[in-house]
Amino acid sequence: MPQTSIPGYTYGTAAVARSPLTLDDLELLKRTLLFGEQDVQALRLSREVLADQVEQILDVWYGFVGANPHLLAAFTDPASGQPLADYLAAVRKRFGQWILDTAAAHYDQTWLDYQYEIGLRHARAKKNATDGVHSTEVVPFRYLLPLAYPIVTTLKPFLASKGHSAEEVEQMEQAWLKSVLLQVTLWSQPYVKDGEF
C-alpha cells in the first residue's frame, strides 16, 4: 500500500507488530467465509466505484455513530461525556483510508499485521494511544460484529451509483460483507483469552 500523510496510519511500517496469526490461519478464515478470487475482483471493482465517494460514505457512517450515544461513547471524554472532535476527525481520516484498503483486497502479511494493529487500537491494549487522547478505555467488544451490518448495507447505494448491473452491485456488496466479517474477526483477537482465539 502506498503510504499517506494520515496521522496514525502506520500500514506497512515497522511500528506495526506482527500478527500472531499466520497466512495459513488467514486462508482458513477466508475459506470459512467462502471468500475467493471472485470476491477479490469484486472488491477491487468497488474501489473504482467508491474512491471518489469516500467523504460521502463517511458522512453516512459518522451520522449513524453520532445518532447512537452508545457508539459515540468510544470517542468521548469519560469525565464530561462530550465527544472529542479532534479524535473523531483523526479517526475519520484513517477510516476513509480503511475503505480504500479494504477495496484494494491485498491479503498478505502486511495486511494481516495491520488488522492486528487495528484490533489492538479498539481494545484496552492501545485504545487512545495512537492519537494521544483521554477517552474511554475500550471499544466494547459487543458492538464490533453488529456494526458490520450497517457498514455494509449503507454502502450499497454508493456501490450502485456508477451504473453497474444489479449482479455486479450484489457481488461487490457480498464481497464487502465477507471482507468486513473477516476483518472484524481479526480485530477481535485482542479481546479473546490466550489460547481461545
- The residue count of the chain comes to 197
The pLDDT score that the predictor gives to residue 3 is: 55
Give the Cα separation of 57 and 62 in Å (integer).
9
Give the Cα separation of 111 and 85 in Å (integer).
28
Task: For the full predicted model, state whether its pTM sits above 0.85.
Answer: yes
Do residues 6 and 95 touch, judged by C-beta distance below 8 A?
Answer: no
Residue 97 clears pLDDT 60, i.e. is over it: yes
- Domain 39-191 CATH class label: mainly alpha
Overall average pLDDT of the 161-177 stretch = 98
Overall average pLDDT of the 128-136 stretch = 97
The pLDDT score that the predictor gives to residue 165 is: 98
Do residues 176 and 50 touch, judged by C-beta distance below 8 A?
Answer: no
